[in-house]
Amino acid sequence: MRFLFYDRVTELERGKRIVGVKTFALSEEFLRGHFDRRPVVPGTVLIEAMAQLLGWLVIASHDFRLAAILSLVDDVTIADPLLRPGIAATITAELLSTSASDSLGRARMEVDGTPVASVERVIYTHLPPADSERLKDIFCYCSGLDRRTLTEGGAAK
């Protein structure tokens, strides 16, 4: 079972923002037996998708030298009705502040420019990673990025 709630990263500006895409498929594990006649993506999954991308932005902004542990999610808005399977959503996350010990950011999810969900305050606590080189490899694999795009201060598009 895979709990990665974004398909790829389309933009990365270290220290600033990250943009990714997620198309929710009817085959997603969390939809199994869930609202059989009218499946919808649970709001908690939308929050997790935004948090995952923002977490990677924190990690990339610190050159993969830390692990970002989700500590707080506040001021969440989920649109009604919820997303249905088959729809592609764009996730944009911004880093508002960061230090050696923690980071603050916000994120939003849109479908064709229409807001679907947002989180105005997300805080991550920082811990040292077990292996920063492996962390870079995992990020590139999960995000569809080439490791060469992770140059210092560079942006992926």
Q: Could you give the 3-state DSSP secondary structure of residue 54?
A: helix
Q: Which residues, in sequence order, are CB contacts of 50 under 8 Å at separation 6+?
A: 91, 93, 107, 108, 109, 117, 118, 119, 122
Q: Is the separation of the CB atoms in 82 and 40 below 8 Å?
A: yes
Given the residues 34, 65, 147, 157, the one annotated as active site: 34
Segments of the chain assigned E as strands: 8-13, 17-23, 67-78, 88-98, 102-111, 114-127, 155-156
Q: Amino acid letter at 64?
A: F
Q: Is 34 tagged catalytic?
A: yes
Please return the burial class of 18, using the count of CB atoms within 10 Å of its CB with bins 0-12, 13-18 and 19+. buried
**Residues with a known catalytic role:** 34
